[in-house]
Structure formats: structure tokens, C-alpha cells
């Protein structure tokens, strides 16, 4: 199972990207969602890094994720703060709600976890279906060079009691036709030099061209597509940007 975010992967993610940790996206989404007067949905909500600060702003936001392990971190963080746990375990392709939303947000490149082009386009249409007239979709993607450029990594986290978590990764494949990468991510839990548990994730990502995704959004029915570089709304992306954001609307009101 690809991109599964199992127990060790989720633990490391939560240590490395705790609630409120920002890449510039938290401030950006706060600004873009200020004054939003309807419900908000965050697919691939993860541990709640963005979700929980949005709840603390008083926004009516709910989320889903395909990983039960990631959701458990989000639930526990919500409970410790006395926040409502409006969370469900669902997938991009099959999520279902009995209402529509004023905004749907996908920070930190989570849309790129959908690696099949046909599925990705169908998910965009699904987002459109679940937006209220006039509702907005905000999606972040990583620039192509940041996806194809990274080849290997090794990191570790000391977690007390002599325990150590490690993550090593290496690029296994780049498919320039399908516009996907495959990385092997090894997660390990050590105690006093002995391996307690390990996981291997076959981690897939798809990269998008800027005009390609803008076209796909319009093809799904979105209008008023605004593309921004490095969380500067309305500033066209340029070489060297670390993130590219798309904001588009469902027609109506």
C-alpha cells in the first residue's frame, strides 16, 4: 500500500511537524480564510498541523484522512485542547458528506499524493461537487524541481528512555511520462541499539506543471483561478519559489 502513513511514519511526522508548525502556509491560510462564513473541509488533514489552528480561530472546519494513525494524533490534540473532533477516515476518491462547503483546502502538497492523472482530475471534480456556489478551493503544490531533485535523506529523533526514531529515504524511480516519483522511506524505532520495529513506505508523488493544473481546475468547472508563488497571493510563481498555490471558485451565489 503506497503513501500509507503507518504508526512509525505518523509518529515521526507528528514530531517533525507539530501542531501550528508553519512553512508560511499557516499564515497564508489564516489570511485567505478570514471572514469565511461557511463550513471548511481539509482533506488529508494529517495530524492537524493546520486544522487545529483553524479550529482555534473559530472556523467551522472538519477533515478526513486515509491514515487512522495520523487521525489519532489529530483527535488526541483536539481533545487536549477541548476542540470538537470533526474527523473521519476517508480517501480522496471516495469521501462523502451530507453537505457542501464554503472552502476546501489542501496545504503542503497533499494533492500530489494522488498519482494517477485520471483519479486526480476526478477528485478535482469531486471537490467542485462538494463546494457551495461561490465556494473556494485552495491547493498547494511543490515545484517540479523540488520533487525530482531530492534523491536521498537520513534523519533521526531522540524520543526519551534511550529510544531513537530514524528515517532514511532514497529515490527508487522517476517516471517522466506519468510525472511521478517513487521513494523508499524506511522508518525504524531503536532502543539501546536494538531495533524494536520498522516500516517501509513506497512513497509516490505526482508533479504538476503550473498551466497544467490551472487547466485541470478549469476543466473541472472552476473559475477565477489565481496562481501564487511562495504564499504571496496574486504574485505569479517564479524560479526559486518553494511552493505554488492555486485558488479557484465554483461559480454561483
34 with 153, same domain: the answer is: no
Q: Does 159 fall in a domain?
A: yes
Q: In angstroms, rounded to a whole number, what is the distance separating the alpha carbons of residues 18 and 47?
A: 8
Is 80 exceeded by the pLDDT of residue 72? yes
**What cell does 29 get?**
491560510
Q: Does 1 fall in a domain?
A: no
Pair 142, 243: CB distance under 8 Å:
yes
**What cell does 79 get?**
481533545
- 143, exposed or middle or buried, with CB in 10 Å at 0-12, 13-18, 19+? buried
Q: In angstroms, rounded to a whole number, what is the distance separating the alpha carbons of residues 29 and 225?
A: 16
Among 171, 191, 206, which residue terminates a domain? 206
Is 80 exceeded by the pLDDT of residue 151? no
Residue 241's domain is classified under what CATH number? 3.40.50.150
Is 50 exceeded by the pLDDT of residue 24? yes
Mean pLDDT for the chain overall: 95
157 with 194, same domain: the answer is: yes
pLDDT digits (tens, 9 = 90+) for 208-230: 999 999 999 999 999 999 999 99
Q: pTM score, two decimals? A: 0.95
Residue 2's pLDDT band, with cuts at 50, 70 and 90, is low
Is 90 exceeded by the pLDDT of residue 20? yes
The more confident residue out of 160 and 188 is 188
13 with 75, same domain: the answer is: yes
Amino acid at each position: 500500500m503506497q503513501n500509507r502513513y503507518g504508526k512509525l511514519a505518523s509518529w515521526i511526522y507528528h514530531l517533525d511537524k507539530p501542531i501550528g508548525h508553519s512553512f508560511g502556509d499557516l499564515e497564508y491560510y489564516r489570511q485567505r480564510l478570514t471572514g469565511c462564513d461557511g463550513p471548511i473541509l481539509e482533506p488529508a488533514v494529517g495530524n492537524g498541523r493546520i486544522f487545529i489552528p483553524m479550529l482555534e480561530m473559530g472556523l467551522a472546519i472538519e477533515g478526513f484522512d486515509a491514515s487512522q494513525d495520523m487521525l489519532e494524533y489529530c483527535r488526541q490534540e483536539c481533545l487536549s485542547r477541548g476542540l470538537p473532533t470533526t474527523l473521519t477516515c476517508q480517501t480522496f476518491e471516495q469521501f462523502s458528506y451530507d453537505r457542501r462547503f464554503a472552502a476546501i483546502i489542501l496545504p503542503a502538497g497533499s494533492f500530489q499524493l494522488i498519482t494517477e492523472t485520471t483519479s486526480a482530475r476526478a477528485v478535482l471534480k469531486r471537490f467542485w461537487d462538494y463546494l457551495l456556489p461561490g465556494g473556494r478551493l485552495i491547493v498547494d503544490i511543490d515545484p517540479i524541481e523540488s520533487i525530482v531533485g531530492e534523491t536521498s535523506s537520513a534523519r533521526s529523533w531522540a524520543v526519551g528512555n534511550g529510544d531513537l526514531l530514524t528515517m532514511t529515504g532514497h529515490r527508487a524511480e522517476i517516471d517522466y511520462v506519468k510525472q511521478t516519483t517513487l521513494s523508499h522511506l524506511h522508518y525504524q524505532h531503536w532502543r539501546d541499539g536494538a531495533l524494536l520495529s520498522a516500516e517501509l513506505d513506497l512513497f509516490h508523488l505526482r508533479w504538476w506543471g503550473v498551466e497544467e493544473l490551472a487547466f485541470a481546475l478549469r476543466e473541472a468547472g472552476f473559475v477565477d483561478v489565481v496562481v501564487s508563488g511562495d504564499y504571496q497571493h496574486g504574485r505569479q510563481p517564479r524560479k526559486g519559489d518553494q511552493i505554488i498555490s492555486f485558488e479557484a471558485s465554483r461559480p454561483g451565489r
